[in-house]
Amino acid sequence: MKRLIALIFSSLCMIGVMQAKDNSVAYVDMAYILKNLPQYETANEQLTMIAKRWQKEIDALEQEIRVMTTNYQTEQIFLSEEMRQRREEEILAKEQEAIELKRKYFGESGELVKKREALLKPIQDEIYAAIQELANEKHIDVIKDRSSDQGLLYMSSKLDYSDQLLQKLGAK
């Protein structure tokens, strides 16, 4: 009985090895692909400009808060209790406004994330369509990203299809 189980197990292992040999694997370097796609660079530049503009807006608001705080601290001894409380509330309201603005622009589901999605999703879709087309043409079963595979110690250059993918995407 043990021999039968061992025979079945070894047969299944051999079938798995034979099937694995039938599968072809290729790699692309997504960092290299993206670096060579002008539309990706353009999208990144747009995102950087938008982020800088929004950061300037936040910085201006924070500067206004610093000025308000400094003025309050120097005038505090001359203000009535009612005026002090009102000024403190104004400063707190401005601080809350700055926090909300940061969250609106740079939060987890903020405007920058939405803008990045809108600009980069079409590029990603185009890349993945080209990958699928390349895989079908070359009869490749698995295409891995070489730039993100930290376990990869060696790869034959004949398995790297990055340049062919760039040609499919129309990049130089």
pTM above 0.85, yes or no: no
Nearest alpha carbon to residue 146 among 21, 38, 25: 25
Per-residue model confidence as pLDDT tens for the chain (172 residues):
444 344 354 444 444 444 444 568 888 888 888 899 999 999 999 999 999 999 999 999 999 999 999 999 999 999 999 999 999 999 999 999 999 999 999 999 999 999 999 999 999 999 888 888 888 888 888 888 887 765 554 556 677 778 887 888 887 6
Find the length of the chain.
Answer: 172
Do residues 29 and 165 make contact, with C-beta atoms less than 8 angstroms apart? no
Do residues 146 and 160 make contact, with C-beta atoms less than 8 angstroms apart? yes
The residue ranges of every structural domain in the chain are 24-168
Find the helix or strand (DSSP H, E) in which 61 lies: helix 38-75
pLDDT value for 74 = 94
